[in-house]
């Protein structure tokens, strides 16, 4: 499997020299294997991914887009996803409850100039159940619910004998959620929400996010291989991200900060 990060920020996209090395787009992760693609979340990073696809392979795309939830920073890239406007594209969308309504609403007047029907790709919506895996080409995809305002799904994507767990927008609270510890056990790569530090968390309790220290603890206790710290706070500068990365890697070898354009081969 090939994993690529197209958006790694949380809450809102940012720009400027202090954020350029990490990247300013909101959450979007691509997983490719044997010519098939699964895209996790459609934040503003999805626009960048679409532009790269068009430049590399042309405007047609066959892919499955799964969403953790429908908060703005995870769906705002959809109206700007270039391949979605090409009639030769086939896109399967699924995951979060209320997904179709949320995508339609964000493209409805007076919030947006064109509606969801402007997307000329062949769109279909697939059901994602926590009780049974979703099979997409070579991928077996499991889902689990976690704690976040309005709900969130985490995903475990398996193919070619390897596994990636995508756990953005999760809040553990005072102790690690045993659901995620079980779900992530033995994964080759865990992509985990790391929006806050322990010191910052008290002022953001109930906002639906984790600390980087909790991400490290999950990785250690679940016995994962690599840990990608993701969903960086929009105010976190490149220097601050790098400092957290260094501390986290001391505690769990194989930890790194997810950065836009970054790749992991499993």
The pLDDT value recorded for residue 100 is: 94
Strand partners, 7: 28
The pLDDT value recorded for residue 131 is: 85
pLDDT tens, N- to C-terminus, the chain (266 residues) = 999 999 999 999 999 999 999 999 999 999 999 999 999 999 999 999 999 999 999 999 999 999 999 999 999 999 999 999 999 999 999 998 899 999 999 999 999 999 999 999 999 999 898 989 999 999 999 999 998 988 899 999 999 999 999 999 999 988 999 999 999 999 999 999 999 999 999 899 888 899 999 999 999 999 999 999 999 999 999 999 999 999 999 999 999 999 999 999 99
- Name the residue among 33, 31, 67, 49 with its Cα closest to residue 137: 33
The values of phi and psi at residue 97, to 5°, are -60, 140
Q: Domain ranges for the chain, please list them.
A: 2-265
The pLDDT value recorded for residue 176 is: 96
The pLDDT value recorded for residue 38 is: 98
Q: CA 43 to CA 28: how far, in whole Å?
A: 6
Strand partners, 3: 31, 264
Q: CA 33 to CA 157: how far, in whole Å?
A: 11
| Lookup result for tokens 């042309």 | 58
The pLDDT value recorded for residue 147 is: 84
The pLDDT value recorded for residue 207 is: 87
The pLDDT value recorded for residue 97 is: 85
The pLDDT value recorded for residue 173 is: 87
CATH number of the domain at 2-265, please?
A: 3.60.15.10
The pLDDT value recorded for residue 150 is: 86
CB 234 within 8 A of CB 262: no
The values of phi and psi at residue 138, to 5°, are -80, -5
CB 93 within 8 A of CB 99: yes
User: What residues contact 162, with CB distance under 8 A and at least 6 apart?
Assistant: 1, 188, 189, 266
Tell me the whole-structure pTM to 2 decimals. 0.96
């Amino acid at each position: 499997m090939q994993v690529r990060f197209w958006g790694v920020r949380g809450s809102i996209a940012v720009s400027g020299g202090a954020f350029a090395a990490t990247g300013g787009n909101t959450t979007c992760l691509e997983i490719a294997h044997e010519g098939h693609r699964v895209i996790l979340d459609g934040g503003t990073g999805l626009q960048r991914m679409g532009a790269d696809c068009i430049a590399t392979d042309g405007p047609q795309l066959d892919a499955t887009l799964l969403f953790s939830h429908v908060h703005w920073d995870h769906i705002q890239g959809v109206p700007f996803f270039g391949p979605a406007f090409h009639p030769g594209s086939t896109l399967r969308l699924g995951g979060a409850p209320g997904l179709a309504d949320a995508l339609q609403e964000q493209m409805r007047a007076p919030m947006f100039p064109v509606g969801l029907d402007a997307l000329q790709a062949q769109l279909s919506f697939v059901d994602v159940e926590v009780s049974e895996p979703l099979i997409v080409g070579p991928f077996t995809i499991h889902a689990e619910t976690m704690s976040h305002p309005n709900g969130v799904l985490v995903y475990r994507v398996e193919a070619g004998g390897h596994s990636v767990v995508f756990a953005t927008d999760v809040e553990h609270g005072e102790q690690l959620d045993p659901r995620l510890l079980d779900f992530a056990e033995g994964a080759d790569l865990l992509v985990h929400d790391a929006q806050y530090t322990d010191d910052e968390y008290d002022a953001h309790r109930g906002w639906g996010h984790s600390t980087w220290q909790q991400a490290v603890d999950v990785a250690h206790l679940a016995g994962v291989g690599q840990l990608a710290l993701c969903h960086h706070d929009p105010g976190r500068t490149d220097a601050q991200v790098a400092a957290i990365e260094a501390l986290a890697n001391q505690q769990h070898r194989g930890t790194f900060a997810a950065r836009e354009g970054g790749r992991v081969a499993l």
